Amino acid sequence: MKKLLLLITTFFFLTMGACQQSDSLKSTHFTGYFKVTGDVSETLLVNSESTYWSFDNLVRDDQEWVSFTLDQLFDFYDSSSEDFDVLIISHDGLMNQIQNHYDYVTLYLNENGWNIHAPDFPPTLRLRGVTEIVLVEKSPDLSASVNMITSNENLASFTPGSMRLMSLLNKPVLDGQSSRNEFEMFAFRNRLLYPITHYQDMIEEVLIMTRDGGFDRTTLGYLEVKDHQINYYHPDSRRNYLDIVGLILNPPKRSIMDAYHDSITSLDQNIPVMVIFIDGYSYDQFLTASSKEFIPFMTSLGLPDKAVSVYPPVTNSGMAALLTGEPPNVNGILSRRYREPQVPTIFDYVNERNGSSVLITGNTSILDVATQVVLNLDRNDSGCNDDEVFESALLHLEGQDYIMVHFKGLDKLGHTYGEINAHTLEKLEELDDYVKQLVSAWEGTVIITSDHGMHTTEEGGYHGDFRYEDLIVPYWLIKGGFFQ
């Protein structure tokens, strides 16, 4: 009997303790803020003191609570609510997705945290302890997505919002370890990860590019969604690439930065170098023009190597990569707004050797470089100055250790008509003859390549996105003079 009484008493106190612990745990769920993440320009923390909008008072059970309607989030981001779905997440992991009528959804703050009041919706929407609201763009622009490509195919696009609707691994990942005397500690961090396992049989290498111009080759890993950005996590090296813009599976071995290093190799052997830089020349464009017999000379050189450009694939960044051998996050040319490379260029290298160099280009100079820059106007009013650039290049070949000849006409017509339009291919046919004559006249190394490619749009052509058409360009490394 005493044993039975003891068991009952023990069970009573254990039960009371468990209830108290449960109440204590419930109180830890309270938070006076929640965050807005997903397909947004920045992560927003919202509390009752936020000044982003005006709060109202919601009366429930004879009490007033600070509140606001969900549609006010879109005013903060200057976006249309019609363009987004909304995912609401509570502290216990429950998630509800809604697609419209956001002005009928009220968030209010009480002693349990932020809660949902939406009497016109099904009762399951009335979540308590909201910790996160994810905005999911319905038709995101490609430039706002993280894109996975190969050298000849655009495979998939991801956004932070769309990834939250995918089957993700919520995985504890080793974040670090430390020890003191004989005591050791391992720190882990939960990450929301998407494994690229269904591509593992075909992947030997992955090229990661980040929105700040980073460029790095690695191997198979995970996409990680974190607030309003997507990262790339490599488990073996525990390397985390932040805010990536895309990844290329099995990328070309060459990049346009090889133009700098190949030039150095020749110059160190006292072999002069000519770089023929055809602006906006994609690898697909070469294949199309070659198959239609627009470019007999470049076709005769054999199939060019594929070379990958840098992000963003625009002229300033691409040209800086050609001249410095470094990606934008190193050379400092992060977009069209930048002109001064922050690292030495090939022209600086030539100057250090007391050599002679020249840049032949159109009517404006793209970058500030330490060499003679020869500008060329459209003197014959043909609508393009490639013919003047070509004639100027022929006049400046003699005595140069390094010369870069920059043709801009293909990019101009590509923007106007599209990259494989007949007008654009006819321009490439004209350039093919210029290239033949320049190669024939040059005794030394010749590199023929581009800064970026282009893709067709409804308005004509465009480049600047992370897609294979914009990033993959032809690359020839040949000897000049053999057609004389």
Residue 344 has what pLDDT? 98
* Domain extent at residue 168: 142-175+185-249
Q: Please tell me the distance from the alpha carbon of residue 324 to that of residue 256, in angstroms, as a whole number.
A: 10
What residue spans of 198-314 are helical by DSSP H?
258-267, 283-291, 296-300
| Beta strands 372-374; 445-449: pairing state | unpaired
How many CB atoms lie under 10 A from the CB of residue 294?
22
pTM: 0.89
**Residues 353, 267 within the same domain:** yes
Total residue length of the chain? 484
Query: CA distances (Å), 265 to each of 100, 268, 415, 479, in order?
Result: 61, 5, 35, 13
> Residue 304 gets which letter from DSSP?
P
**Residues 146, 132 within the same domain:** no
For residue 6, being part of any structural domain is answered with no
Supply the CATH number for residue 85's domain: 3.90.420.10
Residue 10 has what pLDDT? 42
Residue 481 has what pLDDT? 80
Q: Name the residue type at position 128.
A: R
**Residues 244, 267 within the same domain:** no
210, 229, 249 — which closes off a domain? 249
For residue 59, being part of any structural domain is answered with yes
For residue 3, being part of any structural domain is answered with no
DSSP string for 45-71: EEETT--SS--EEEEETTEEEEEEETT
195, 218, 249 — which closes off a domain? 249
Q: Please tell me the distance from the alpha carbon of residue 63 to that of residue 160, in angstroms, as a whole number.
A: 37
Q: Please tell me the distance from the alpha carbon of residue 414 to that of residue 409, in angstroms, as a whole number.
A: 8
**Residues 357, 298 within the same domain:** yes
For residue 9, being part of any structural domain is answered with no
Tens of pLDDT along the chain (484 residues) come to: 444 343 334 434 444 444 444 443 344 445 689 999 999 999 999 998 888 888 999 998 889 999 999 999 999 999 999 999 999 999 999 999 999 999 999 999 998 899 999 999 999 999 999 999 999 999 998 888 999 999 999 999 999 999 999 999 998 888 888 998 889 999 988 899 999 866 777 788 999 999 999 999 999 899 999 999 999 998 877 889 999 999 999 999 999 999 999 999 999 999 999 999 999 999 999 999 999 999 999 999 999 999 999 999 999 999 999 999 999 999 999 999 999 999 999 999 999 999 999 999 999 999 999 999 999 999 999 989 999 999 999 999 999 999 999 999 999 999 999 999 999 999 999 999 999 999 999 999 999 999 999 999 999 999 999 999 999 999 999 998 854 4
**Residues 464, 317 within the same domain:** yes
**Residues 221, 269 within the same domain:** no
For residue 363, being part of any structural domain is answered with yes
For residue 180, being part of any structural domain is answered with no
Q: Please tell me the distance from the alpha carbon of residue 8 to that of residue 119, in angstroms, as a whole number.
A: 45
The set of residues, in sequence order, having a beta carbon less than 8 Å from that of 48 and lying 6+ positions away, is 32, 55, 66, 109
**Residues 155, 280 within the same domain:** no
**Residues 133, 149 within the same domain:** no
For residue 15, being part of any structural domain is answered with no
225, 249, 273 — which closes off a domain? 249
For residue 321, being part of any structural domain is answered with yes
How many CB atoms lie under 10 A from the CB of residue 77?
16
Residue 483 has what pLDDT? 47
**Residues 84, 220 within the same domain:** no
**Residues 370, 354 within the same domain:** yes
Residue 11 has what pLDDT? 39
**Residues 423, 324 within the same domain:** yes
Residue 25 has what pLDDT? 37
Residue 112 has what pLDDT? 86
Q: Name the residue type at position 306.
A: K
Residue 239 has what pLDDT? 86
Do 131 and 34 form a contact (C-beta atoms < 8 A)?
yes
Residue 31 has what pLDDT? 64
Q: Tokens for 134?
A: 């994810």
Beta bridge partners of 218: 206
The set of residues, in sequence order, having a beta carbon less than 8 Å from that of 96 and lying 6+ positions away, is 87, 88, 124, 125, 127
**Residues 352, 369 within the same domain:** yes
Question: How many domains in the chain?
Answer: 3
Residue 484 has what pLDDT? 40
Q: Name the residue type at position 319.
A: M
Angle at 54 between CA 48 and CA 55, to 5 degrees: 45
Supply the CATH number for residue 267's domain: 3.40.720.10
